[in-house]
Amino acid sequence: MPHAPELDEDDLDAIAPAQPVFHVEQALLGALLLDPHRLDDVSGIAADSFSTAAHATLYAAITSLPRPDPAEHAKNTTWLDRVLAIAREQARGLTASYLHTLIQVCPWPSHAPAYARMVEAEHARRRLQTAAERLVHTVHDVSLPHPVQTVLAEADALAAVVNNIANRFPPRAGVLPRTTTTPPLAAPDPAEAVEEEQILLATATAYPADINSVPWLLPDDLTLPLHAGLWQCLTALARRREPVDPVTVLWEAQQRGLLDDGSEPGEVLRMLAEPAGSVEHWGERALQRSVLATAEHTGRRIEAYASDPATTPLQLVVGARRALADIAAVRTRWQHATGTATPQRRRPAPTTRAGPPTTKVAHTARATRATR
């Protein structure tokens, strides 16, 4: 919730923000100040549902006091004075004149439940936006020792927010999310991804029998189109039980039109001739990048939905759930790859996101290959 700076005595009367929710909040607070018993008709909101610190403080003060006697309340300002005194402990800029302004700008106090529903809807949008931003931030936190597990936990937290909104604003048939433009993703470290994917392809070419050990790896998990296409070539040759070596893979690539983009056959052959480590290890690294990229894309899609004030809570739920389905799919493959039954279970992992295996691991893998 944003916190406004301390204001001079008359500053609150002069505030004229453009956001409609500010005026909705004024109308709701005015209704409650005029007829405090209407709090009984208001539900689904709390102090942190309001967009400004002053309004949040006022609402907290109103709800903290017993309802005044209606007849007495109509005769004097005793209850209003108590509200102001409590609120000013947290927002010293509040004045009696601002409370009077709130009462004046409220068109219909009886519409308080409708105003509260609008405040709740805007708060839902802000909550979803905050959760999506947190997911994207977590994706880029390079200090995490277990990035995938932490990112999936944030995705679960985001899904919980969506479910909470859905419970308050049940979706109905025919509601579609508004069309939004998802901001471009930050490109992964190209050198790191390219190098690891090249080793993966070369190792799979050298040991095609191991391709079956990574059924959870899909071409789209690789960052470059050429790499994705070469992985399709390898899996196709292995599935057909045809000979696999750099030359047969190159020929398959030509048949699929992969060299039409100007890729040099000699470069492809050299790339496929430098295996190291294991297919499973490099496949898991590629899948890890894919999980993180999917989470970022999902977070940015939901951010785009939530940052559009014209998107209704129903549309937020529909759009967010469609975006989260992508994470659910890649999560299942990650669990299959790592043998984790739930996303919360942790397995030994390096302290950095990516990198070649240790020298000992690489030497052990090569020695194992040599004895075949």
For residues 92-97, average pLDDT? 92
Say whether pLDDT at 194 is over 80.
yes
What pLDDT score does 263 carry?
86
Q: What is the 3-state secondary structure (H, E, C) of the chain?
A: CCCCCCCCCCHHHHCCCCCHHHHHHHHHHHHHHHCHHHHHHCCCCCHHHCCCHHHHHHHHHHHHCCCCCHHHHHHCCHHHHHHHHHHHCCCCCCCHHHHHHHHHHCCCHHHHHHHHHHHHHHHHHHHHHHHHHHHHHHHCCCCCCCHHHHHHHHHHHHHHHHHHHHHHCCCCCCCCCCCCCCCCCCCCCHHHHHHHHHHHHHHHHHCHHHHHHCCCCCHHHCCCHHHHHHHHHHHHHHHCCCCCCHHHHHHHHHHCCHHHHCCCHHHHHHHCCCCCCCHHHHHHHHHHHHHHHHHHHHHHHHHHHHCCCCCCHHHHHHHHHHHHHHHHHHHHHHHHHHCCCCCCCCCCCCCCCCCCCCHHHHHHHHHHHHCC
5-59 pLDDT, tens digit per residue, is 344 444 444 445 558 999 999 999 999 999 999 999 999 999 999 999 999 999 9
pTM equals 0.79
227-282 pLDDT, tens digit per residue, is 999 999 999 999 999 999 999 999 999 999 998 888 899 999 999 999 999 999 99
What pLDDT score does 313 carry?
92
